Each structure stands twice: as C-alpha cells, then as structure tokens.
C-alpha cells in the first residue's frame, strides 16, 4: 500500500499556557496531573483520549496535522525542518478529534 496523506489540517491556535490539545470529542481530557517534568521536557502529555502538545511560544502558533495511510517516512534533507518529533497514539471512539488551545471552549472548536 502506498503511503499517502488522507487528511491535512492547517490551523493557527492560541497556545495559552504554552500548550494545545488534540482530543477525542467525548474524552474528559484532564491533563492537569500529566504535565510532569518529563512531559514538560518532551513537550508532550498524554491521557485517555487526549494529547497535550507543549509549545515554546505563549501566543498563536501554526499547527499542521497530517494523517497518513501508513507510518510516514522521515523527511529527507532539504525538506521541512523539524526540531522535535514525538510519537504517541490516541483512541478516538467518537470519530471526531477536537484541536484547540487549552483555554478554548471545546464546544466552539474545530472538530475533524
């Protein structure tokens, strides 16, 4: 099977408190105890149905999310520059992911 992008989402999100969320629409998503020192250093906190992505800016940040049919290849030299890669899984039982800053009202956020 060829590796193709089946969905690509480009957003600018206000990363209040230096973080943004990717969350199953129905998940509780409480990350308050998940931001350990290790999570802060990795810029990644995880709980059931929710991924917290740390940022280095407390302002609007560009976000690009790509969903592939299979595991994507690493970028070759000369392509986009990536400073850090984290890998994790998320179970999306609702069929929709909310992408939002941590202080956004999830009911008003984009769902994909």
Task: List, for residues 96-111, the tens digit of each pLDDT value.
Answer: 888 998 888 766 665 6
**What domains can be seen in the chain, in order of their start residue?**
5-108 (2.60.34)
**pLDDT tens per residue, range 32-78:** 999 999 999 999 999 999 999 999 999 999 988 887 777 777 665 55
Residue whose pair of structure tokens reads 């994909």 in the numeric block: 112
Give the residue with greater pLDDT, 95 vs 76. Answer: 95
Average pLDDT over residues 24-31: 90
Query: What does the buried/exposed string (b/e) look like for 70-106 if buried means 16 or more CB atoms within 10 Å of the residue's CB?
Result: eeeeeeeeeeeeeeeeeeeeeebeeeebbbbbbebee
CB 25 within 8 A of CB 96: yes
Q: The pTM is what?
A: 0.80
CA distance 24 to 110: 12
Residue whose pair of structure tokens reads 């009911």 in the numeric block: 107
Please give the pLDDT value at position 89.
85
């Amino acid at each position: 099977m060829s590796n193709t992008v089946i969905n690509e989402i480009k957003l600018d999100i206000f990363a209040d408190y230096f973080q943004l969320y990717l969350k199953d629409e129905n998940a509780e998503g409480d990350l308050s105890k998940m931001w350990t020192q290790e999570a802060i250093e990795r810029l990644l906190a995880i709980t059931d149905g929710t991924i917290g992505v740390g940022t280095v800016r407390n302002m609007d940040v560009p976000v690009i999310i790509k969903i592939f049919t299979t595991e994507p290849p690493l970028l070759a030299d000369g392509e986009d520059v990536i400073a850090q890669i984290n890998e994790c899984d998320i179970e999306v039982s609702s069929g929709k992911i909310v992408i939002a800053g941590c202080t956004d009202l999830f009911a008003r956020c984009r769902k994909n």
